[in-house]
Chain A
Amino acid sequence: MSSLALNIPQRGPTRSAYHVAVIDILSGLLAFNIWGRLGWRDTKRRYRRTVLGPIWATVSVALFVLTLGLLWSNLWNRDPKVYLPYLTSGMLCWTLISSVCTDGSYSYFVNEKLIKQLRISYTLIACAAVWRNVIVFLHNISIYVLVCIYAGVAVTWATLLVVPGFALLCLNAAWIAVLLGAVCARYRDLLQLVSSLLQIMLFLTPIFWSPDQLTGRTALLATYNPLYHLIAIVRDPLLGRAPAPLHWVAVVLITLAGWALTVHVMGRFRHRIVYWL
C-alpha cells in the first residue's frame, strides 16, 4: 500500500479524478510506515538541541493550564478539583485540533520539494502533520495524569471510551489537514484567516467554560459548534463519564460530511495543487 501512496495512478479513460482522489486518501492513510517516520522526524527536528525536547510543548501547556485554572476557578468560584481536570482535558484536545489546523494548512508548502519530485499522496503528507501533533498530545497526557491524581478523578469503565473517541478525533484531524492544505495552497489569505479564526474559536468553544453556564439562545453556541462535539468525545471519557449520544451522532455526521467534502475538493482540484505551490 505504501508503494501506491508514493506513486498515485493517473486519471485516464477508466479512472476518474474522484477515483484518483479516493486512492490518494486511502493509500495515504494506510502508509503509516512513511508518515509515521516523517512525523516523528519533524518532532525531533523541532526540539533538536534543546534539553527538554518535545517536553517543552508539554511544559508550556502545563504552565498555561495551571495558572489559568487556578486563577479562573478563583474568579468564578469553582472548585479547582472540578475545574482543573475539565480545563486541562479540554485544552489538550484543543491544542491538538488547533495545531493540526495550522500545521495542516502549511504542510503542502513545506513539502513542496517532495511533491514536485514524486507523485506522492497528499493525504500521506497531511497524515505526517497530524501524527506529529498526536505525538505532542501523547506527551501532554502526562499533565492530565498529574491533574487527575491531584483532583482525584475516578477511572471508570467509561474512561475506556477515550479510545474510540480519540480515534474519531484523529480521523477528523486527517481530513481537516488534507483539505486545509489544498485550499491554503490556492488562497494564501486563508493561512491568516485560519489562525485568527482559531483564536476566536478557542473562546467560543466550551473549554474554559461549560455549556450549562449558557442560557437561552446563546446555548446554540455549543450545540451547533462542531469543535465542541469533537472535543467532548475525548474530554468526557477522560473525566470518567460517557459522552452523551448527541456527541457521538454529531461527530459521526461531521466525519462523514468532512470526508465527503474532502473527496469532492480533492477530486476536482488534486491535479491542480502542484501548480499552486
Chain B
Amino acid sequence: MAEIVLKDVVAEFPVYGTQLSLRNALFHRVVGGVLRRQSDAGQRLVVRALDKVSLTINHGDQVGIIGHNGAGKSTMLRVFAGIYEPSAGAISIEGRVSPLFNTSPGLDPDDTGYENIVTCGLLLGMSRAEIERKLPEIEAFSELSDYLALPARTYSSGMLVRLGFAIATSIDPEILLLDEELGAGDSRFAMHAAKRVKALIDRSSIMVLASHSAELIGQMCNRAILLDHGRVAADGPAKDVLELYSRMNKDELPAAAPSSAEHEGPSQAASAAAAVV
C-alpha cells in the first residue's frame, strides 16, 4: 500500500550571498567562537518554505495542493519526492515515487526525438525493453511523425511540450507527483492531454497535484490541501477546501484592487516567511 506521512516537517532554504563563502568558513576556523556567533546571527539567512507540516496521504487519495504563488506548493511536492529533505521533522514514504515536475528530464535539443525518448525513458526509470514497447504509443500521442527523426532543436515549443509530455506520461507510476507546469501545447492538444493525464492518474495509487487553479484541482482531485505561507491552512474534501480558497481570495481582492503594481510587492515578500536565524 502506498502511503506518505509527514510529521512536523520544516523545509528551509539557505540564502547564500557573497559573504558566506570559503573565505568566511576559513576565517571562522581561524578566528573561532565569538566572531562566528556574531556574524552568524547577522548573516545566516534562511527562507522557511514549509513550516511544521504534518499530514498523511493514503492509498487512493488524489490530492490537490493549492495556494498562492510561493505558498510552498512546489516545495511540498519536492519534499514528497525526497528531493528536498526536511531540515526538521520526519517523513516516511511507501511506494515508488514518479515525479513529473517539468515534462522532460534530460531532454537534449541536439538529439533527435527518438534518441530523446530513450534517454528520458531511461531517466524516468524505464528499461530499454519497456521503452521499445511504449514507443508506438509515444509516437502516436506526440503527433510528431517524421519530426521524431530530426534534432529536437528544430521543434517548435509546442512540439517540444508534446514530446516531453508523451514520454513523461507513458510511465506506470505508483505515487504520482504532478506540477502545474505540466501544461500542454495548443488547446486541441490540451484536451487530448487531459485525457491522458486522467488515465495516468487512474493507473497510480496516490496522486498529488500542485496548482493555483481551483478549477483544475476540482476536476482532478478528491482531496485538497490549502497552503498559506508554508503552513497547512486547510485539509479536507476538495469541494470544501476550494470554497475556502475562493473566499480567501475575495477577502484579499478589495485591498489589492487600487493598484496591482503595489500588490506585487507585499504578496511576494509574504510569499515565503523569511527568518533570520
Does chain A bind chain B?
yes
Binding site for B on A (CB under 8 A): 2-3, 6-8, 10-12, 33-34, 37-38, 41, 44-45, 48, 113-120, 187-190, 271, 274-276
Asked if A7 and B125 make an inter-chain contact with CB atoms under 8 angstroms apart, the answer reads yes
Q: Is B113 an interface residue (CB 8 A)?
A: no
CB distance from B226 to the nearest CB of A (A): 25
The total of Cβ contacts below 8 Å across the A-B interface reads 73
Asked if B102 and A117 make an inter-chain contact with CB atoms under 8 angstroms apart, the answer reads yes
**Residues of chain B lying within 8 A (CB to CB) of residue A41:** 108, 111, 115, 119
Taken residue by residue from 77 to 120, chain B's Cβ proximity to chain A (1 for < 8 Å, 0 otherwise) reads as 01001111100000111001101011001101011000100110
**Residues of chain A lying within 8 A (CB to CB) of residue B97:** 7, 119
**Residues of chain A lying within 8 A (CB to CB) of residue B187:** none
**Residues of chain A lying within 8 A (CB to CB) of residue B85:** 10-11, 271
Asked if A190 and B22 make an inter-chain contact with CB atoms under 8 angstroms apart, the answer reads yes
Asked if A37 and B122 make an inter-chain contact with CB atoms under 8 angstroms apart, the answer reads yes
Q: Is B147 an interface residue (CB 8 A)?
A: no
**Residues of chain A lying within 8 A (CB to CB) of residue B78:** 116
**Pairs of residues from A and B, 6 with the lowest C-beta to C-beta distance, nearest first:** A271-B85, A189-B22, A187-B22, A119-B82, A117-B105, A10-B82
| In the bound complex, CA of A6 to CA of B84 (Å) | 15
Q: Is B14 an interface residue (CB 8 A)?
A: yes
- 30 intermolecular pairs with C-beta atoms under 8 Å apart: A3-B125, A6-B125, A7-B97, A8-B82, A10-B85, A10-B93, A33-B128, A37-B118, A41-B119, A44-B110, A45-B110, A48-B110, A113-B102, A113-B105, A114-B106, A114-B123, A115-B83, A116-B83, A117-B83, A117-B102, A117-B105, A118-B83, A119-B82, A119-B97, A187-B25, A189-B23, A190-B22, A274-B83, A275-B14, A275-B84
| In the bound complex, CA of A265 to CA of B213 (Å) | 42
**Residues of chain A lying within 8 A (CB to CB) of residue B96:** 7
Asked if A118 and B99 make an inter-chain contact with CB atoms under 8 angstroms apart, the answer reads yes
CB distance from A67 to the nearest CB of B (A): 33
Contact check: which of B92, B99, B106 meets A38 at CB < 8 Å?
B106
A183 and chain B: residue at smallest CB distance: B22
B108 and chain A: residue at smallest CB distance: A41
Chain B: number of interface residues, binned into ranges: 20 to 34
Binding site for A on B (CB under 8 A): 13-14, 16, 21-23, 25, 78, 81-85, 91-93, 96-97, 99, 101-102, 105-106, 108, 110-111, 115, 118-119, 122-125, 128
CB distance from B82 to the nearest CB of A (A): 5
Asked if B122 and A119 make an inter-chain contact with CB atoms under 8 angstroms apart, the answer reads no
| In the bound complex, CA of A43 to CA of B8 (Å) | 45
Asked if A118 and B21 make an inter-chain contact with CB atoms under 8 angstroms apart, the answer reads no
**Residues of chain B lying within 8 A (CB to CB) of residue A44:** 110
**Residues of chain B lying within 8 A (CB to CB) of residue A118:** 81, 83, 99, 105, 123
Contact check: which of A11, A34, A116, A276 meets B123 at CB < 8 Å?
A34
A46 and chain B: residue at smallest CB distance: B110
| In the bound complex, CA of A276 to CA of B97 (Å) | 23
Asked if A187 and B21 make an inter-chain contact with CB atoms under 8 angstroms apart, the answer reads yes
B86 and chain A: residue at smallest CB distance: A271
B81 and chain A: residue at smallest CB distance: A119
**Residues of chain A lying within 8 A (CB to CB) of residue B14:** 275-276
**Residues of chain A lying within 8 A (CB to CB) of residue B105:** 113-114, 117-118
